[in-house]
Amino acid sequence: MKDYRIYQHPILGKIPERKKITIYFNGKKLTAYEGETIASVLYANGIRRLRKTEKFNEPRGIFCAIGRCTDCVMTVDGIPDVRTCITPVRDGMKVEFQKGLGKWKKKNW
């Protein structure tokens, strides 16, 4: 699969190497680098559809990328509605596609 990451930036130069970690998207293994956000890892792996809307079942992806618009919310480690564009990845993280507001899979209570 094509990697959409920038390794050689025209102004910033060579991006320093970071620690490789693994996250899971709907059970599928994805390679991520420490410090990246969930949404950027998915984007780099060619995944653009992050959730579906409640009423019309329309796909949504990254929109504002600064944690305001909530278009990129997904179920992360069983917690629904996590804004993936501002949440950094962690090794072994389980990210899931979400419909509407999703469901609490892991109960914190």
Using CA atoms, how far residue 78 sits from 13, 45, 64, 98, in Å, is 38, 22, 24, 11
Count of positions on this chain that bind other proteins (CB under 8 A): 12
Inter-residue contact 76 to 89 (CB < 8 Å): no
Site string for other proteins, 52-81 (x = CB under 8 A): ------------------x--------xxx
Do residues 93 and 69 touch, judged by C-beta distance below 8 A?
no
Closest contact distance (angstroms) between CB of 5 and other proteins is: 28
Asked if residue 103 binds other proteins (CB under 8 A), the reply is yes
Judged by CB under 8 A, the stretch of 11-19, 32-40, 57-65, 100-108 that binds other proteins is: 100-108
What the block records as the tokens of 88 is 């950094």
Tokens, residue 15:
């991006």
Binding to other proteins by residue 7, rule CB under 8 A? no
Q: In the bound complex, what is the minimum distance in angstroms from residue 95's beta carbon to other proteins?
A: 16
Q: Does 101 bind other proteins (CB under 8 A)?
A: yes
Measured in residues, the chain has a length of 109
Q: Which is nearer to other proteins, 44 or 80 (CB)?
A: 80
Q: How far apart are CA 33 and CA 20, in angstroms?
A: 5
